[in-house]
Amino acid sequence: MKTIFLFWDLVLLSASNTISCYIRDGSLKSLNNKDDQTTFFMILLVWVVLVLSKDAYKIIRIEKIYTTLSRTIKLILIHLGGVALFIIILNFDNVSRLRMLYFYVVFFVLVLLFRILFLKALKHARSQGYNYRNVIIIGVNEMAGRMNQILNNDLSYGYKVAGVFSNVTNLNIDHSMTNLGGLSDIETYLLENKVDEMFIALDYKETDQIPKLIQLCERYMVRLKIIPNFQKYTNMRRVSIDFYDNTPVMMFRKEPLELVINRIQKKIFDIIFSSLIIGLIFSWLFPLLWILIKLESKGPALYKQVRSGENNRHFTCYKFRSMRQSKTDEFIQATENDPRVTAIGKFIRRTSIDEFPQFFNVFLGHMSVVGPRPHPIKLDDQYIKLINNYKVRHFSKPGITGWAQVKGYRGETKEVIAMKMRVEYDIWYIENWTFLLDLKIIWMTVTNMLRGEENAN
């Protein structure tokens, strides 16, 4: 599998090099340029070193396609940085920077298309009964039932569950699980049947059986997987395991943005994206809106408010002013048909244009393009008392848009349940962040802006 992937990647690199040359020059003459040839050799070499050292071709059966694509995108960004550094150090002035841009755009598109088509074809083949693995489950409990359901619900994972072994009598299992016998019957079954993987989901009273099962798996060349019951410690179904040296440590939630490489990737995107918005849109939008806002009502065009950011640090958040100035500084949440909202304010709130000044917050590092929306301090103080996990959303840098917003939870929160749902979506984002998810949220935000936000008050 690795050889096939590597071969096709080298083909795609060569194709991208040729296509980018033709797009840039209208011919292939520059392919004979010595600096270009040396650069392309380094492109191939750096890619081979990266994919082999990072095990980029590892395909986990239950892994989602977007996770594989996210890993590929990270690899391309690291590769781009390495090649750019090489060009700068060797001072290759004859290598066109524009052509390199074309190269990476073409390669990015080609490699993602290849990965998507390959993974789709592989999943389809597995769903038709090819490239599957035979599985047995040891134990009968909630964890065993859940694993059986997961593997049977999506055949594209490529697993066939033969049944379950357990010493528990009077088994109360669903009809999709076949009782194959007790633990003493496992070795006989392994001798007579092909088993690729064994999932152990024994209750803690039976864990003394695990060493014997490990010996059986090693003797009959069966991959062993143990399903720990974390519900003994917490009601959370998703936890994260990290290693401090060789000691496993369980964490209640996975936070992809705790990894330095992910934070750097998100930071670079934030700087580039906010710079483009400030330079290409805000430069002409601000003077126009400044005039319209000032003509309709007295007061500054920009509205400043202190809000809570990452790790509960306070910062000044900027917005276009959409309301008439109040005689008091007391915060009152905007409501539907709020009389304080001006005519131009209704438009910029419905289209989310009032949030555009926050790209300065992104550029300055207070916010990110995507993340949980920052709330006014008074709103935070109110809901911290009502929602137990409310502060978890502050584990991440706040965003101009977020997963909760594109799912409809934005604007006025009339009931506590609405804020609870917003918090749940924010926490889901923190636990499931990927670069592709950020791009998806931005796309959905732009689509919602063009349609006009229904919940924008």
Q: pLDDT, tens digit, for every residue of 66-108?
A: 677 777 788 888 888 888 888 778 777 677 778 888 888 898 8
320 pLDDT exceeds 70?
yes
- Is-contact 314 308, C-beta < 8 A? yes
Structure tokens given for 122 = 């592989």
138-142, 238-242, 245-249, 385-389: least confident range: 238-242
- Is-contact 429 371, C-beta < 8 A? yes
* Predicted local distance difference test score (pLDDT) of residue 118: 81
* Predicted local distance difference test score (pLDDT) of residue 335: 58
Q: Which of the four pLDDT bands, split at 50, 70 and 90, describes residue 61?
A: low
Residue 222 is assigned to a structural domain of this protein? yes
Specify whether 295 is located in the same domain as 212: no
Structure tokens given for 372 = 């949980």
* Predicted local distance difference test score (pLDDT) of residue 457: 46
Residue 180 is assigned to a structural domain of this protein? yes
Number of structural domains (the chain) is 3
Specify whether 68 is located in the same domain as 98: yes
Residue 245 is assigned to a structural domain of this protein? no
Specify whether 315 is located in the same domain as 438: yes
Specify whether 345 is located in the same domain as 287: yes
* Predicted local distance difference test score (pLDDT) of residue 441: 94
* Predicted local distance difference test score (pLDDT) of residue 363: 93
Structure tokens given for 136 = 């047995």
Determine the average pLDDT of the residues in 333-356: 76
Q: Which of the four pLDDT bands, split at 50, 70 and 90, describes residue 401?
A: very high
Alpha carbons 334 and 340: distance in angstroms, whole number: 8
Please give the DSSP secondary-structure letter assigned to residue 373: P
* Predicted local distance difference test score (pLDDT) of residue 334: 62
Amino acid at residue number 210: I
- Radius of gyration from C-alpha coordinates of the chain: 28
Alpha carbons 13 and 84: distance in angstroms, whole number: 16
* Predicted local distance difference test score (pLDDT) of residue 403: 93
Specify whether 272 is located in the same domain as 179: no
264 pLDDT exceeds 50?
yes
3-state secondary structure 22-86: HHHHCCCHHHHCHHHHHHHHHHHHHHHHHHHHCCCCCCCCCCCHHHHHHHHHHHHHHHHHHHHHH
- Is-contact 436 70, C-beta < 8 A? yes
Specify whether 76 is located in the same domain as 43: yes
* Predicted local distance difference test score (pLDDT) of residue 451: 74
Specify whether 104 is located in the same domain as 149: no
Determine the average pLDDT of the residues in 327-334: 58
Specify whether 108 is located in the same domain as 169: no
Percent with pLDDT over 90 in the chain: 22
Residue 412 is assigned to a structural domain of this protein? yes
Average pLDDT, the chain: 82
Of 97, 114, 122, 121, which is closest to residue 11 (Cα–Cα)?
114
| 193-247 per-position pLDDT tens digit | 999 999 998 887 787 888 999 999 988 899 999 888 776 666 566 677 777 877 8
* Predicted local distance difference test score (pLDDT) of residue 381: 87
Alpha carbons 248 and 241: distance in angstroms, whole number: 6
* Predicted local distance difference test score (pLDDT) of residue 366: 93
Structure tokens given for 433 = 């962040």
- Is-contact 375 307, C-beta < 8 A? yes
CA 178 to each of CA 171, 227, 241: distance values in angstroms, whole numbers, following the listed order: 10, 19, 31
3-state SS class at 139: coil
Q: How many CB atoms lie within 10 A of CB 339?
A: 7
Per residue in 208-220, is it b (16+ CB within 10 Å) or e — as a string? ebeeebeebbeee
Q: How many CB atoms lie within 10 A of CB 111?
A: 21
Tell me the angle at which helices 65-90 and 97-127 cross, rounded to the nearest 10 degrees: 160
Determine the average pLDDT of the residues in 346-358: 84
Q: Between 315 and 323, whose confidence is greater?
A: 315
Specify whether 447 is located in the same domain as 298: yes
Residue 244 is assigned to a structural domain of this protein? no
Q: Which of the four pLDDT bands, split at 50, 70 and 90, describes residue 48?
A: confident
Residue 248 is assigned to a structural domain of this protein? no
Domain boundary among 127, 144, 175: 127
Domain limits for position 394:
260-451
- Is-contact 37 127, C-beta < 8 A? no
Residue 303 is assigned to a structural domain of this protein? yes
Q: For the range 423-428, what are the long-range contacts, defined as Cβ-Cβ under 8 Å and sequence gap of 24 or more?
A: 423/383, 423/387, 423/389, 423/390, 423/392, 423/393, 426/372, 426/373, 426/392, 426/393, 426/396, 426/402, 427/253, 427/389, 427/392, 427/393, 428/403
With the C-alpha atoms ordered 441, 443, 444, 450, is the resulting torsion angle positive or negative? Answer: positive
Q: Between 8 and 57, whose confidence is greater?
A: 8
Domain boundary among 66, 99, 127: 127
Residue 184 is assigned to a structural domain of this protein? yes
Specify whether 284 is located in the same domain as 389: yes
Domain boundary among 213, 232, 251: 232
- Is-contact 18 28, C-beta < 8 A? yes
